[in-house]
Every structure is written in C-alpha cells, then in structure tokens.
Structure 1
C-alpha cells in the first residue's frame, strides 16, 4: 500500500491523471514539489494530464464548447442550494432547475450533485489550460462551501434583510428554518389579535405564517396560501374536519410586504389583509383559551409535517389579549404598536435569538426543522434527513430518499479535484470532514443494514464514492477513511462477480458500474483479490454482452438479459453516464492488466458515444449533453434533458475536459511508452526529458505522426494496433519501415535509442465493416475504422440495405458507398447519407440498419440468383465474404466455388444456380 500524500503534493496516479486532461503545457499550472508513488499493483501508469497538451481536432473543438460554458456560467446559481440549506444569503442567485433546486424532480432530492461535477470540470479545465479564470471560480466555490459548512455547524443565525422601515429577518427557502416561541405565548386569552408583516418569496400552499398547536388535532394557524392560494386562518380542537376558519379573497403578492391580522372575540373572527377586512365568521366559538397550553408555538412551521416551511421575511409579529377594532388594525399599516402578549420587531442582525418587546420576556429562538448535523464534517445542499431515512428504508422511494451517498460522492470528488488542481487547503479540509462524517454514521450500522441499504435501487446508489474515499485516504492517510471505503462493499454483487456468475439482468446499470472502479482501488489498498476478480469479470459481462455498437450500455437505465441487444433497443438506450463510468473502469483495469481489449473499448466509447453526446453548439446556460442516446430508427438526440442538470450532463462536463486522460501511459519502470489513442497532442515526459508530439486529424486521417524531441535515450514505443485495423498497420521511423508483423488487437513495439527529431509515422487504413447484434444478425451497425456511421433519415422503421454489391477483395464494404465531397467520413447509399456518430447534430439518425441481401451480387454484377440462408440466418454471401481478405480475384472465385459446392451438397442451393453464381463471380470486376 502506498504511503499517504503529504501536504502540498499532487496525486500523480489515480486522482489527478484520472480527473484532469492537459491542454497547453506552456500555461498549465506548475507541478508542486512531490508526487505520490502509484499503487504497487499498477504495472502501467498514467501521466498527469497537465503534461498532455491537446492539439487541434475534433477533441479540441468539442472541449472548447465546454470550456466556454465553464468560463461563463454563474457558479452562484449552483451554490444557491448549499447557501439556502445553511440559512445563508443566496445573493439573488436562482438555482439552475432540473435536478438542481428545491422544485427539481423528486423534491430536489439530488440537489448538490451538479456542484460537484462542476468543480471537477473547473479543476480539469484549470489543469488543462492554466487559465486563472478557472482557479478563481474554484476558489469562489470552495470559499462558499467553507462558509456553508461553518454555518451548518452552528445554530441557525438571523439573516437580516431590508424591512419596511428598517431590518427584517428572512428565512431562505430551503433553509428549513422557523421561529420557535416559548410556551404560553398566547396566554390562554379568550380574545385575541394576531398580526404580522410578511414578505413571502414562494407560492407553496399551506406554508404557515404561524402555527400554535400540540399536533394535528389542537391548533390555530395562519397560512399565507391555502389550497386555493389565498390566506386562511383556522382554529380547532378536533383536527382538520372541525376547523373554524377564515379565508381571504386574493393571493398575497410574492416579494412584497403584506400585513395580516386576525381578531377573535365574542364568537366572531375577522381576517384582515393590509388593514382591510376580507373575511368574517360569526360562528367562531373557539379561542386560544379553549386550546389550553400548547407544545408547539411556531412562526413559519406547520404542525403538519408535509407542509412546506414558510419562505420569506418577517418584519413584525404581535399578539394582543383583546380584539383590536378595524380602525386600530388599519392604523397598524403606518404605526408600530406593541402587542401585550408578545411582540417581535425582528430588528436583530446576528445570533439566533429574537427579543420580545411585550415585557413578558418571551425570547424566541431561530431553529431548523431537522435540528442540525450529526457530525461537524457534514456538507450537503439538503438536510441530513435523507441519510437518516435511508438507514431504515426497506424499499425504494426516491421522492423521499434519492441516492444521498451518490450526491455526497459528487461533492467529495469535486472537492478532491479542486484541492489537487489548486492546492487549496480548504477543499481538502472539507473533503476530509465529509469522510469523517460518513464514517461516523456508517461505522455504527450493523452489516446487515449496510447490505440492505446498498442493495436498494436508486435510494441506495452511491456512485463512485469508494474510489473517491480511497483517494481521500491516499492523500490524508486516515485509517478511518480506508475503513469507510470498505463499508460500501455490496457483498452479494462482489461475490457473484468474483465467481463469474452473471447477475446483471434487471440491475440499474449506472448504480453499479462505478462501484467496480472503487473496488479496484480497494484492491490497490488491501490486496484482496476478490475485488480485482469481481471488477474484471463484471467488465466481461458488459462488453460485449450488453454493449451497443457505440460503446454504450443499458436500456431505460437498466440491464436486460445477457446477449440481448436488438431486443433492448429503444428511445432510452445507452445512458451517457454508463459510458463515462465504463471508460473509467476500462482504464483502471488496464493499469493492472494490459489487455488491449480494454483500450479497444475505450476508443470505441470515447470516439463515438462520448463525443457524440455533446451537441456541436455553444450555450452559456446548458452543457448540451445527452442523457440517453436512443438507438431507434429516426431518433433525434435530446441535448437538454430535464433542464440540463442530470447526472449525465454532469459527467458530460467532466468528459469534455479530460478527453486526453488515456492517450499515453508509461511503464512503471519507465522503460516504455504506450500510445493508446490516436489524437493530436503533445506529451511532456519530464522524467525522460522528452516530448512526443502527435500530429494527426484522426479519425478523419487514417494514421498519425509522432515526433520525438529532447534528450536522447532508450525506451520502447508501444503503439496500439486497434482490433479493427485489419487492412494493414504500417510503421516507419524517419521514413524507413520497421520490421515485424502488427497484429490487430495488440501493441506493436518500436525499441530504439531515440534522438532529437525522430519521426514515427503510423498508417492504419480503414475498412467499412458491420457489427451484428448478438440476438439478431440481420440488424447491424456500420463502422469505418473506429467511427460508427449513422444514417440520417427521418424514417421511423429500420432502413434496409444490401452491402455486398461492390465489396472489395479486402472485404471492405466501402466501395458500395459514395463519398460526399468536402465532408470527410460522410457517404451515401441508396439516397441516405451516413455520417459519423460523433457529430453532435439534431438530425434524425439510424444507428442500426436491417441487412437485406436478396440476390447474389459480385462487383455490382447481379447473378439473378436468390441469396439462400441457413436456419441461423447466415447467407451464402455471408459465408463467402467471411473468407476475406482475398489476395486476388482468383482467390475470391475459389472461395465462391468451395462455398457453392458445400451449399449445393447440403441442398441449400440448386446446382444450376450454383453454376450461375460462380460464373458471375468470375466475370465481375472488383476493387482491390
């Protein structure tokens, strides 16, 4: 296990490199003094992404859109929910909406997650570019969160705002604050006047101006809005059905001061609004005297737990032991008069107590409905109640508890990334405090409770918190934090996957993918093989068995049965978060075991789903990232789901600022450099005194050029040979061919003593190929090299195409298509344009097409013979072309003759038709 990071060090391995892509080495933040040695179990290491400068190309173009968004978005909007939860001024900021805000889905129960994503994006952007604007924004957010935690650690404090003629006290919506009055405040009066100046800021029904009662049977209250949206006063000793009430006639205006007064005497009650009587009831027999001594005497809070807390300001509350006359009530609009039972002017500007001017000394106290945090390290944008309720839940209900530890993960991750990018002690202190708080809660729970919690769909989702907590432990070295990481073990899943038992059918995909990256980090920290085995086997259960061609997985967020792909295609396939987390898992697995399949997957998902999930349009307000990518025919991508603040927009912001995190890796012993992805970039390998510049327009260019500069020295350059590179992979150094046979799905090694200016040229011709869905071979998706091609067509049924008509001897299907002039990677076939999936447009697309080859055609020569098929759907043409590539036309014709003879012998093709097929193949002209 590696030693902990000391102060002022960067975590070179898992943390910074995973979080931060480089982009501009000349201006990137300077490295700090020391780095943490990576886990001993890693045989391959990433580079800190400040050492990788992004060159021009598709990645730079996409990233620029996100960097512009990061520069311009008002971070106070994200901080609004945190400040509100702590009862602090929100600076007039409006939460972004969607999942972020009190009015978000499921009561805003996921609010705060997006702030963590945004911090990570800013941290990656700063490490990539060195632009001070990103560091400044990080400092603003970390400073605000520091103030929020400090406020949560203390009793609620008065938030003083401008009143009608002085100061008033505001209860920010989302603070869950109310004023607690002493018992006996009503004095058992048989006649009474209650009056208050209020400025409501939200139109929630049933939020109380005041509520005095024992429970939901004996009380009197005044609400600013009843179910009809107008003020209502009621008093009862027999619950809601026995209320004696007064209803107003018009809604109170928001953000304006209104005066409310209620008088009761002699069986008559009157409700006044701004000095004018708006309702009367001559059958009000109940008075405060009938209620007796009440336990709960509240301003702003209801005895009905489901009612909202009053959001707005108070500028006076008075109670008199008599019914004021109409003229006296009217006079209260201009003259301050002190109530004899209680009188609060709300002129306080600090602390949490409110003075009573009646002479009775009934000092009131500002409180939170949920009390306060169980530990001083607590930090969230909502009360701790979600975490508490989760501990007793037996079934999922996201309207009550929606993945609180998932949200905690995002905040913790953002703080760690902020610390690593800017060395801000406050960020680390906040992160460490969160770890301490979570440990204080979870370590007290029985193991059975933890297993039940983590097995709950949605409510028990905890995202990548295990990875983040392991990173926190690596930085700070607290034993409690490593112990905390292990408290998230979901043993049923770990044990099943470690035993290679596929239990994924029916599971929520993104609830489970990121936890395996965390378990790999636990393997690094503990050496327990079950974590590594589980993660490795889990990956194999997804790729390819639950993977769509673009690299995505899940349908409507869930996994279905193994090898069912065509049968799960819908409008809600391929959740973008799933691709993000599968990339992280693939990358981390590769650090342990250099199986090129992990990087083949990485390239597939990065160049297709991840790039394609970001719209190619600038927007200051939204990140414009898909949630789902529907793969149904004619689907149009939605880049602004749920107002743009879902988990997928969050991970999309992160993806777009770390595109280069896996372009280069180095061997742990420094003896080799892996070039994993072909992307315009410059690597600064400081230990070697070397820079490697990769110049390419890949994938618009079918190859790349690497130039080595700096000190001379020996190391092996290991060039990834993609599994799709079956049309040839050639390497030259300074113009001379390098011997050896590159094998698709492996690495090709160039070992030499490198000198200043050495140039390596890699050529990797693309082929157009298809990938068949596992459960329906006729449903296929098209690839040109690494690029998924989608048909742009508004039809809503699968398009039908034949692709063998002019296939090349190499097996390349591209000759059947017509290139579009001036548009790289664009082709047409039968009037439909095919374009790269990574283009973020709003065109209706077809990611899958129906393969139909009705007749045997070679080199555009139609034999007129129907293309026969076996019971499993394999056609004669399929079997012929399975033998590609062919060295010559003669070799192809020989293959055709062999296949035809076999099919004739099996009774699948008539002898005369067989002769015609062979003759057609012999007479056709082929592209090489």
Structure 2
C-alpha cells in the first residue's frame, strides 16, 4: 500500500475540486458494495460484515417494541415547528407563534442557548429512523416540514435581512424576532448635532431581557446616548455620556414596559432639562443635564434595537413610528401622539428623521422627514462567510473558537458538535426519503466548514479540538465521511481529516492510555469517525487507535450496566468503585460506545464487541427510557447514578439535553444490530436474541425470530422465502455457561458451543426450517475492579438491581443456597407474576431495564459472615485472605460441580489448604466439611 496522504496533501488535492474526486472510494480503487443503511447505499470493502437497513428488520412484540412505541407516540404528536423555531428566528423569519422546546434548545437555556439546534438534528434522525422502521406517513410528513423550513432558513441567511412586517399601532410595523440579532441602522446625520431634541417611538417588546436598547447613538462605550427598554431594575432608562458609564446623565422610569403590548416612549432634552415619557406620562425628569446630542458630535453607530455594549441583548419586538425632532415637544404634544400618527398630529413628522415602518418587503426603511435618511435592516454579525452555512445561531461561535485557548461554554459551546447533529439529521432525512433538499443542505454545510477550517494552520486545529466543551465535535467525522460516499467531493474527505486530534490518535495507536481526566463523550464518537476515515484512506493508525481506545474503556472504565464516565469525565484506569456517584454513566456515552462497538465489528468479528453491545443495550440504553408516555418530553436520562438508593431522573435540564437527543435515536433503532451479513453473503450473524423479522432480499429469504428474551431463555428462528445456502452464525454469550444448545428442525446440531464465540450452522436453508436455541441463565456477580467486595448482579444478560430506599450500600450474602452449577439464584425467591423479579431478605430485585422511578441499588456490598452451604449454617465464621478472598469464594470458584460428591471434595481440599495456611482451625474446618456433607443442593 502506498503511504497515506498527509492532511496538507489532502487539502492540496481538494483544491482541484474535480467532479470525479481524487480521494473518493471509486477513484482510490476502494470498491464499494451495495448495503442498506449507509447514506450512500454503499459499504466500504474494509467491512468484512455489513449491517442491514432499519427497513429490513421488523421488531416483534417485546421490551424493545414497547419502549419504541412510547417514543413513536411522542414523535407522532410533537409539533416540529417548535424545533425549527430557533432556526427561523436566527434567519429573521416568522416563527408562527411556535415555542422552542426549552432547556438547552432555546434562547433562555443553559449558557444562553449556545447549543440550540442540536436537538433539531436529533429529532430529524429519530423521525428518519422511525419512518424507515414503520413506513408511517406521519414521520415522512414531519421530516419534509423540517427540511423545507431549514431550506428556507439557509436561503434567508444567504441574503441581507428582509423586513418582517407585522400589525402595528397605527398601520404596519417592523418586527425583530427574538433570536434574529437584527437591528435598524440609521445614517450618521440622524441627530443633526441638535442641542435640543425629542426622540419618540412606538415599541412592542416581546421579551423582558434587561439592557435591550430601543435606540443607541454613539461611537463606543464611552460616548453614547441610549434608551433601554429595561435597566437592571427592569424599568426604562435613558442615559447620555461622553465619559463612559460613570459619567452618565440619566432618567429612569417607574414601571416595566409591558411585554407583547404597544407602548409609546419619548425623551426630550432642552435647556438643561431632560424628561422621559411613557404612554404620554412624564415618569422622570432631570433638570441638571449638561449634555445634549450636540456633545456627541456625529456618532458612528446610530441604532434602533442594538447596544454599543456588545454583551447587551438585541431588542426583541416591533417598532412602529420613530421620530426625531430638533426641539423638545411639550407634554401636550407628547400626549397628542398617543392617539394618532405624528403626520396627523400638530407636531407633524420629525424634522430630523421620521420612520413609519410601513414597508412589507425589502430591507430598508424610508425617511419621511425630507432629509432622505434611509435606514437599513442589518444583523449584528453581518452574515455567513459561506452560502452553505446553516445554524440556529450566528456564525460567531465558530469564529470565536478559532482564537480560544481554553473552554468557556457560556461564550462558545461546542458549535461543531451542534453542526454534527444537524448534518447527521439531514443525511438521515435524505436516506429515509431520498430528499434532495436535505442532501443539498448537508453538502452545503460541509462546503462551508471546509471553507473555514481549510484556511487554519494545523496548530490551530489541534488546539481547537483539544479544548473541553467548546471544541467538542461529536461524531462529525463519521457524518462527513458518510456524505463523502455520496458526494465524492475531495473537499469533503479533506474536511474529515481536518478534525484529526493527533495527540489522541497517536497515543491510542501506541496503546498509551491518556484517558484519565478527559471528557468522555467528547472523545468516544470521534473514534467511530476515525474508523470511517480508515475506510476512506487506508491509514491504519485510525483503525489501531480505535481498537486500542475501545480496550481502554471496556472493561477498565465500564460499570456493570455498560455505561462509562463520572460527572462526564473519565478517571484513572481500573477505578470503578472509586468513581461511583450520582452522575455516573452519561447516557450519550453508552449510545456512542454502542455505535463504536458495531463499527469495530464490521472490521473485526471479535465477539467481545457484541458482548458489550448486548450489555449496554439491554441495561443502560433500555433502562434510560422511562416506561410511561409523555407528549412534551422524551423521558430519557442524562446521568444514571449508581449510588445506593438512586432515583433515575428522566427529565433533566428540562428534557432537551444531548442525552435526550441520543435517547430518541436509540429508541427508534433497536433493531440495527440484531443481524449482520458477511460481506460476500456467505454467512448471517445473529448477534442479539430479539423478536424480529429479517428480510434478506439478496438471498430471497426471511428469518423470523420468535422469543420473549430476556424473559425467555432461548429463541426460535424460522426461515421463509426461497432456498439459500449460507452459514448461520449464532452468538454464544459469554454468560451462557450452563449449556447453549442448538437444534435444526428438532435435531441437535453437533458441536460444543463455546461461551464468548459464534456457533456456526451451515446448510441450504428452506422455507419452514426452524432453528431453536436454548441458553439457560445463571445468576452471577461481577466485581468492581478496584474493590471486589462491591458487586453487581446479573441474570443472563440482565442486570438485576435492588429496589430499596436506603442510601448506604446493602450488605448481601448469596452463597447460602447456591446450586451445584454455581448458580446463585436458589438463594432468591421468585415474585409471582413478575418475570425476572426476585426477593431476598425482604428486598425486591428487578431488571435495570425497567424504566421506573424506584430507588435502586445497582451495586451492593458482598457480605458472607458465616459459612453457609445448602442452607445449613456451619457455625463457622467465613475467613478471608489479605486480598479479601473468602473461604466460600474459593469453594464456589470450582463450580460447576457434577454432583454433591464433587462439591464435597472441593470443600475438603479447600479446607485442608486453608488449615495448612493457618487461616482456619482444623476443628472449624471439620465443621465446614460436615455441613457440606449433610446439606442438599439445587442443581
């Protein structure tokens, strides 16, 4: 293989912009094979197995279908106009009264809504997956509504702002939608150097933010004259100064301007006296004013709705008349303006400036004063640097990131992460509906990103992607690579390479663990993208880094449910018990680890990847979704606390976080990894035992899996369609140590399935063929890596948790009635009518995947104070070695036992060794052996 291209070489190649790209799959000689489920309907040849599309696998009745139904109902009823509200606002378009979802997805969310737009992308993906899985028209209609709205938004962002006309006080009015960053720019001569003045305006605020300006005339934050709709006390304030805030001469109102109602405000200055009027009433007077507009000279910045202080919010609301007079109107004249337009009043129009805002199109406002001072509608941030830009906020976050040296999410909060969610949603919309508009929007976004990032030095890029939070980029590399398979544009592949974080890649490629202290979800999805870059470029460092990274997380930073991270970060390798908190296991991390695991499996069919997939899917992902309907929220966890007595919070931060977003996606793609096919069609992998029907069109067969797994300890596969020859590869879970058995049409299949492998059955399959898999469950414990006494309980694939309100770890003994197989289940009592529910010492144990609000104990403190065998108490204290291993631990480590005699032999040999080591007296040892001989045991 020729040496991989460097980033700079790729960028140089990209500038050629050939229609048949130099770096595309086809041009590089890396052939593609048709595969449903890829945005391009093609899979790279580096994948030795391939997924099926969501439309190829239908879920049957069971826990997955039940959870999905809750999310589908939420999606069916949700008004998607709410999701595009912030996009419309940013573009200055009418929002139709839609209310943004809130939380992170709104202007008032955490960090002032600096992540807004991300949830819209998640929702698009969810809708696309829902449509592919159900073909319900309602989902297609909602997708088309959103894509249409985003198309309008991009077009609006490309052009200069256009007036949004609304009903005014007297006629029409110019409205600035909240979040549009729009203001009215007046010509420099508007104040005319007047020493006496009246400024009169009709305004209708639509938000109660402090320090929004009705007008502000000045050069900077030293020389200015403004009228704020609300000051820090929430009342109108007029001020004029030539020496900054400390020199302000001002007037303060007495009551807030009402929101969503028209108010008339006027300021007069003459003869050293200033007066502030609200709705015709003088609410403030200052007779010691020495400054007039003449003192400002000719201000550079003459704005309606914008402040000379950049941190102040832009005015949200509508302007009707704005008049500037070169004299101080009398109280009577101001009062007259309450009932009629200035042109109809004795005052006449303002002689310095007069704007009626009756325009219904265009981006300028006529001046009726006779001075021809045409005003212009503008954005505070100007406009996008490239016509492909699409976001729910200005491009300023992306620009600021380029010069940041440390993170500050109140200023810049992961703009490329948000861009990824939007890009991913558009690609999924295109995949689901073949919507060319969605593809065009996605391609434009990548063209825009390339236009910015390709101009930056490598050092700047490395710094950006290493900044916590602000530089988080999500799975954008994967999405760009997926787009590249469609577009074939060299720039798109080059763009994906611009997100290389070399320190992370090189360390992981060298198998050097540097994860301690890193933000988990900032880094997990990067590696799925790097795998896709390996597919596109052949650079093996990407593949090696991704494999090694996965091994640094599993099991070294993995909790029993499959989750990872504490307070969103990783700690030292191998520290599990020492990191358990109320903010462990961020749900996004599990979502992205599942995606990484399945993508690794496409390259390397190591069963450990699907072992992890089953663990995290059946426990954390299922358990992150509450089991009740809700029209407003998806009801998905952010963190899953693993502390004793923790109650899951399914609506954190008002319900629009990253984890609610990925939770919506997870609940509409449960079937995506049940089956994979060998790339050459020679084998079908059954990875998960889930009720479902696969339609394998290439083979002309269907495979229907009938099971109530995990309530049922097995599954049945029934073949339909025509005849087809291939190997059926059935995953043998590592926990299936009690005997995994397979029959075909009732006949046993020879061979010994090995736990933690795939068992292959090869034949020519015919319609009606039936494969039965049985896999008896055992109850077992898993110990925390750094504290063996802290344990979690599993029954087959299912994590069982204690439902108990105690806030300290429960002390639990499990050996008392252990079976000869080593199964701990006989120590528990089944709960009648509730599969997978048991009691022990008065506490109920239930599957973690049940989305309830019960206080739970995922971990408990193992306590076996006495040697009890077969329910008989020997009266001997259970001794322990220095490492915590007890006598009972060593006895039961020999399980399974073929019979009672084998168990007794194990007890005797273990006792003899402990007596010889001085850890147990001979008398106590004899009591233990006698107890073992006298007891009876479950199988």
Is TM (by shorter chain) over 0.5?
yes
Residue 336 (str. 1) matches residue 357 (str. 2): no
Would you identify which runs of 4 or more consecutive aligned residues in structure 1 move more than 4 Å?
none
Calculate the TM-score normalised by the size of structure 1.
0.97
Distance 1:248 1:742 in 2: 82
Residue 914 (str. 1) matches residue 914 (str. 2): no
Residue 683 (str. 1) matches residue 694 (str. 2): yes
The corresponding residue for 1:194 is 199
Distance 1:10 1:647 in 2: 33
Distance 2:569 2:750 in 1: 47
Residue 502 (str. 1) matches residue 513 (str. 2): yes
The corresponding residue for 1:24 is none
Counterpart of 1:257 (choices 253, 262, 267) is 262
Residue 241 (str. 1) matches residue 232 (str. 2): no
CA deviation map 1:763-812 (0-9, x unaligned): 00000000000000000000000000000000000000110000000000
The corresponding residue for 2:791 is 780
CA RMSD between the two structures: 1.1
**Contact kept? 1:15, 1:417, Cα under 8 Å:** no
Structure 2 SS opposite 1:185:
helix
Distance 2:531 2:427 in 1: 19
- Offset at 1:243? 1.1
Residue 547 (str. 1) matches residue 570 (str. 2): no
1:121-160 pair list within 5 angstroms: 121-160=126-165
Distance 1:479 1:11, change over 3 A: farther
Distance 2:683 2:287 in 1: 92
CA deviation map 1:391-428 (0-9, x unaligned): 00001101000000000000000000000000111000
The corresponding residue for 1:97 is 102
Counterpart of 2:871 (choices 857, 860, 885) is 860
Distance 1:210 1:153 in 2: 27
Distance 1:737 1:2 in 2: 45
The corresponding residue for 2:448 is 437
Distance 2:62 2:111 in 1: 40
The corresponding residue for 1:20 is none
**Contact kept? 1:4, 1:473, Cα under 8 Å:** no
**Contact kept? 2:687, 2:730, Cα under 8 Å:** yes
Counterpart of 2:328 (choices 317, 323, 328) is 323
Counterpart of 2:386 (choices 369, 375, 381) is 375
- Offset at 1:531? 0.2
Distance 1:676 1:281 in 2: 79
**Contact kept? 1:734, 1:759, Cα under 8 Å:** yes
**Contact kept? 1:123, 1:138, Cα under 8 Å:** yes
Greater mean alpha carbon deviation, residues 280-289 or residues 758-767 = 280-289
Counterpart of 1:419 (choices 416, 419, 430) is 430
The corresponding residue for 2:35 is 12
Residue 869 (str. 1) matches residue 876 (str. 2): no
- Offset at 1:613? 0.1
Distance 1:334 1:10 in 2: 73
Structure 2 SS opposite 1:597:
helix
**Contact kept? 1:4, 1:477, Cα under 8 Å:** no
Residue 210 (str. 1) matches residue 221 (str. 2): no
**Contact kept? 2:624, 2:650, Cα under 8 Å:** yes
Residue 606 (str. 1) matches residue 617 (str. 2): yes
Counterpart of 1:631 (choices 635, 642, 647) is 642
- Offset at 1:714? 1.4
Distance 2:307 2:529 in 1: 43
1:585-596 pair list within 5 angstroms: 585-596=596-607
Structure 1 SS opposite 2:83:
helix
Greater mean alpha carbon deviation, residues 165-174 or residues 839-848 = 165-174
Residue 666 (str. 1) matches residue 677 (str. 2): yes
Counterpart of 1:708 (choices 714, 719, 738) is 719
- Offset at 1:14? 5.9
Counterpart of 1:74 (choices 57, 79, 103) is 79
The corresponding residue for 1:527 is 538
Residue 43 (str. 1) matches residue 48 (str. 2): yes
Distance 2:550 2:681 in 1: 28
Residue 106 (str. 1) matches residue 111 (str. 2): yes
Distance 1:797 1:611 in 2: 26
The corresponding residue for 1:447 is 458
Distance 1:755 1:465 in 2: 43
Structure 2, gaps ≥5 residues long: 1-23, 343-348
**Contact kept? 2:427, 2:442, Cα under 8 Å:** yes
Distance 1:10 1:475 in 2: 13
The corresponding residue for 1:646 is 657
Distance 1:118 1:92 in 2: 20
Distance 2:249 2:888 in 1: 85
- Offset at 1:335? 2.2
Residue 181 (str. 1) matches residue 204 (str. 2): no
Calculate the TM-score normalised by the size of structure 2.
0.96
Structure 2 SS opposite 1:624:
coil
CA deviation map 1:733-782 (0-9, x unaligned): 11111110000000111111111101110000000000000000000000
**Contact kept? 2:42, 2:485, Cα under 8 Å:** no
Distance 1:316 1:883 in 2: 89
The corresponding residue for 2:906 is 895
**Contact kept? 1:207, 1:310, Cα under 8 Å:** yes
Counterpart of 2:583 (choices 572, 584, 589) is 572
**Contact kept? 1:403, 1:460, Cα under 8 Å:** yes
**Contact kept? 1:779, 1:850, Cα under 8 Å:** yes
The corresponding residue for 1:300 is 305
Distance 1:875 1:271 in 2: 83
Residue 791 (str. 1) matches residue 802 (str. 2): yes
Structure 1, gaps ≥5 residues long: 17-34
**Contact kept? 1:124, 1:657, Cα under 8 Å:** yes
Counterpart of 1:881 (choices 870, 879, 892) is 892
Residue 478 (str. 1) matches residue 489 (str. 2): yes
CA deviation map 1:238-261 (0-9, x unaligned): 111111111111111000000001
- Offset at 1:11? 7.4
Residue 457 (str. 1) matches residue 462 (str. 2): no
